[in-house]
Chain A
Amino acid sequence: EDQVTQSPEALRLQEGESSSLNCSYTVSGLRGLFWYRQDPGKGPEFLFTLYSAGEEKEKERLKATLTKKESFLHITAPKPEDSATYLCAVQVTGNQFYFGTGTSLTVIP
């Protein structure tokens, strides 16, 4: 069965304290791995797509990396406005998507 697991479930950081979020997956036929940000009461907002092991993408304070079994979202010197739930999703053969349960990030000023 295809599985996507995110850790930790919740993370509290001081402003400026860098950290990483993890997304591990066991799927067959991976076509892509996606990171989204979700604010309370809103739809997910696209951040990154990664397609092959070794790939990295950056956007402002965020950097996503991919291996054959997991992906990391690194947050460098976070700010309070980075507080949100970060979701990982995988696209498998065909056009189906599986999401993880997310990591709730709180950045304290």
Chain B
Amino acid sequence: EPEVTQTPSHQVTQMGQEVILRCVPISNHLYFYWYRQILGQKVEFLVSFYNNEISEKSEIFDDQFSVERPDGSNFTLKIRSTKLEDSAMYFCASSEAVGDYNEQFFGPGTRLTVL
């Protein structure tokens, strides 16, 4: 069964450093998403991406964040200068379509720890 994969599973970084979180969505999916979940809190939407551009972003997704689909398979989330409060689990998701059929498949997540 196809699945969304994410690497690394755990990333530890120093405050102020740049990190890139990687995701490989399901191959025939067209819509891609990043979410984060701070420990003990709700899942928060960050950004959705379609046709090589951002389609929606939340207030959390400020200038420190960027997303990219550098090739036909990877989807990345870059945080330019990490802060302590960026420590969270980051989930990538993909879906085949949006609207009437929008089952999102989530990856296992990357746990980001900022020291």
Contacts and interface: CB of A to CB of B under 8 A. Distances in A.
B27 interface: no
Contact of B91 (A43, A95, A101): A43
A45 B58 contact: no
B106 A44 contact: yes
B6 to A, nearest CB: 8
Interface residues of A, number: 24
A99 B104 CA distance: 13
Given A49-B103, A51-B100, A100 B56 contact: no
B42 A43 contact: no
Given A43-B107, A99-B44, 7 more contacts: A43-B91, A43-B108, A46-B105, A46-B106, A49-B103, A91-B102, A95-B98
Interface of A: 31-32, 34, 36, 41-46, 49, 51, 87, 89, 91, 94-102
